[in-house]
Amino acid sequence: MLTKRIIPCLDVKDGRTVKGINFENLRDAGDPVELAAIYAKQGADELVFLDISATLEKRKTLAALVRNVAREINIPFTVGGGISTLEDVSVLLQSGADKVSINSAAVKTPSLIDELAKQFGSQCIVVAIDTRMHNNEPIVHTHGGTRPTSLNTIEWAKEAQSRGAGEILLTSMDHDGTKSGFACSLTATISSSLHIPVIASGGAGTMQHFADVFTIGNADAALAASIFHFKEIAIPELKRFLQHHNIPVRL
């Protein structure tokens, strides 16, 4: 059985790690390079680095910061934010990223997924989906969660897979930063609809929440930010807890 992955997320704005609630009210959470090194030592399976204002501000993810993070870690590293061309991806992979995460650009130009998968391989293309419930329907949002689209989240995840995405990073905006638990029902629906891995994001507050999203939500990986940044949950303890609950993890 494949092990379940624990992935800290570094949301970066202006070179600093930040964290908010429902994508708003951001507060400083530390230096991303230092945090990345700590998480790698603690046993994180992967890292995700998101330049959360890159798309909104129409600038590119800071390649230099990516290089600095990559030098400090020995685990897979996904980078996203403002990626819209093959050149963007090439620069980030050359800077030390193992995978790239695309969101707004993929919604705007779905064929970008096909192009990136063909050029770089599906294994390094993560399609991130920010979703929020609207009239009891999960709706895709873009531009850092600020713009609702007409896309149903489940259907978009299926299309992303069909175009060559290697993974889906599913963030529930309704749960983000609330520490009330992951969107297990939606995660389970999407996981059962796809054959590629689904990373669940948004809502982690307790170790039981991780157990729930792996068992009820059938997620392949779980991503969290503030509970790690502010030392509310330590990764080694979390992994021991999951192992005790018969959830396979890499110790």
Instruction: Give the C-alpha separation, 72 to 133, whole Å.
Output: 38
pLDDT category at 51 given cuts 50, 70, 90 is confident
Query: In the chain, which residue ranges form alpha helices assigned H by DSSP?
Result: 32-42, 63-72, 86-95, 104-108, 111-120, 153-163, 184-193, 207-215, 226-229, 235-244
Mean pLDDT for the stretch of residues 32-49: 94
Q: Which domain holds residue 219?
A: 5-244
Q: pLDDT tens digits, residue range 76-111? A: 999 998 889 999 999 999 999 999 999 999 999 999
The tokens for 220 are 């392949």
Q: How confident is the model at residue 238, as a pLDDT?
A: 98
Q: pLDDT tens digits, residue range 162-219? A: 999 999 999 999 998 889 999 999 999 999 999 999 999 999 999 999 999 999 999 9
Among residues of the chain, what percentage have pLDDT more than 70?
Answer: 90
Provide the sign of the torsion angle of the four alpha carbons 50, 218, 132, 168, taken in this order: positive
Residue 61: φ, ψ to 5°: -55, 140
Tell me whether residue 155 is in a domain. Answer: yes
Tell me whether residue 35 is in a domain. Answer: yes
Q: How confident is the model at residue 26, as a pLDDT?
A: 62
Q: Is 10 exposed, middle or buried (0-12, 13-18, 19+ CB in 10 A)?
A: buried
pLDDT at 19 over 80: no
Q: CATH number, domain at 25?
A: 3.20.20.70
Tell me whether residue 251 is in a domain. Answer: no
Mean pLDDT for the stretch of residues 42-52: 91
Q: How confident is the model at residue 16, as a pLDDT?
A: 73
- Active-site annotation holds for 130: yes
Provide the sign of the torsion angle of the four alpha carbons 26, 29, 34, 38, taken in this order: negative
The residue from 51, 130, 176, 212 that is catalytic is 130
Average pLDDT of the chain is 91
Of 15 and 31, which is predicted with more confidence?
31
Tell me whether residue 86 is in a domain. Answer: yes
Tell me whether residue 71 is in a domain. Answer: yes
Mean pLDDT for the stretch of residues 145-150: 91
Among residues of the chain, what percentage have pLDDT more than 90?
Answer: 74
pLDDT at 60 over 70: no
Q: How confident is the model at residue 25, as a pLDDT?
A: 56
Facing residues of 124 across strands? none
pLDDT at 20 over 60: no
Mean pLDDT for the stretch of residues 134-148: 91
Tell me whether residue 249 is in a domain. Answer: no
Kindly report the pTM of this predicted structure: 0.92
Tell me whether residue 66 is in a domain. Answer: yes
- Active-site annotation holds for 11: yes
The DSSP call for residue 3 is P
The total domain count for the chain is 1
